[in-house]
Amino acid sequence: MPMQLLTLPPSPALATSIRATAQVFEDPKSKALLAHLEKVAPSEASVLIIGQTGTGKELVARHIHNLSARRNRPFVAVNCGAFSESLVEAELFGHEKGAFTGALSAKAGWFEEANGGTLFLDEIGDLPMGIQVKLLRVLQEREVVRLGSRKSIPIDVRVLAATNVQLEKAINAGHFREDLFYRLDVVNLELSPLRERPGDILPLIRHFIAAYSARLGYGEIRLTPDAERKLTSYSWPGNIRELENVIHHTLLVCREGLIQCDDLRLSSLRIERHEDTAPSDDSAKALLERAFKKLFEEQAGALHEKVEDTLLRAAYRFCHYNQVHTANMLGLSRNVTRTRLIKIGELAVNKRRPTENVQGERMLNLSI
């Protein structure tokens, strides 16, 4: 049986994206996921896709769309975390001329753009609570009302949603609506981190070597056995996107069509975690409790904010100033992490803007 390979449509935005651009199903875990996916894809059920950043959630969503009766209709992918809170309603549901300052003409929202097809809502956990209420109504009533209008517009859209955080924890913390969760979670697909599906690593390595060799105009590229072992034994905290970046960089520095160990630039984060003599969970908790007790004795007022800021700053530095790794470690979304890093002065503000891929599918990406 030939290897099942999924790839994203070519797009200039992918150069700075942290999305996975390829997905394979060679590992037993991935094959089980694919079998389940193929059973539910032809239905009209909403699907919640859960996985760390860079595990290929959008690729899975596209594959579901391509296996459904909507395959010849639009597939629209939207990053919910890329919206400013003031514009999120207009972006999702559309707006009329004059609905707000700068609304010089009427504009359809993403739901209308996806009418008849599939709407993929990535980072669904980043939506503000007020918009979650309106999204739930749209899903229930199957109609949207543009901002500045009273007229409802019928829509026929299958919604696929994705998150890299545990929504159950967000519900308990009061950040996500339980009724919306159950509306989205008709089918649940969980993508394992790349390190937990080692059978996919080598096929992905070969795919990216072939893809970037062709792009760079190279001939055949070979891996030494030591280099192959180093790549397949690495933990890949950044998942598929990190693997792609490593292969791209490696091809730029390797010589004579041969990739050797010294050509591979891998993060030291895994090595540091394994080499450090970490205390047990119990002793770590005891140390933390003693530190808190001392803090309570010495200071008063706004302690929650101070502890939260200190934890974020320490985690960010421990993760070598990598926002994605920091977010994963703390169990936050990357957008919440980014906002808090900006607030405490650890990160400069970068503008976020919508982009389009070359096939004209409207996308929203967050530059990090």
pLDDT over threshold 50, residue 269:
yes
pLDDT (tens digit per residue) in 321-364:
788 878 888 888 888 888 888 888 888 765 443 333 333 333 33
Angle at 349 between CA 9 and CA 109, to 5 degrees: 45
Identify the pLDDT of residue 331: 85
Q: Which are the contacts of 188, defined by CB distance < 8 A and separation ≥ 6?
A: 47, 48, 50
Asked if the model's pLDDT at residue 220 lies above 60, the reply is: yes
Domains, the chain, ordered by start? 41-192 (3.40.50.300), 195-271 (1.10.8.60), 280-343 (1.10.10)
Check if the beta carbon of residue 147 is closer than 8 Å to that of residue 90.
yes
Rounded average pLDDT over 58-79: 95
Distance of CA 78 to the CA centre of its chain: 11
pLDDT at residue 361, as a whole number: 39
Q: What is the pLDDT of residues 113-162, one digit of tens each?
A: 999 999 999 999 999 999 999 999 999 999 999 999 999 999 999 999 99
- Asked whether the predicted pLDDT for residue 272 surpasses 60, the reply is no
pLDDT reported for residue 166: 83
Question: Which one, of 215, 152, 161, 156, lies nearest residue 184 by Cα?
Answer: 161
Model confidence at 3, in pLDDT bands (50, 70, 90)?
confident
Q: Is the pTM of the predicted complex or chain greater than 0.95? A: no
In the predicted structure, residue 101 carries a pLDDT above the cut 90: no
When pLDDT is cut at 50, 70 and 90, the band that residue 270 belongs to is very low
Q: Which residue has the higher pLDDT, 312 or 279?
A: 312
42, containing H or E segment: none
| Residue 346 DSSP SS3 | coil
Tens-place pLDDT, residues 18-31: 678 899 999 999 99
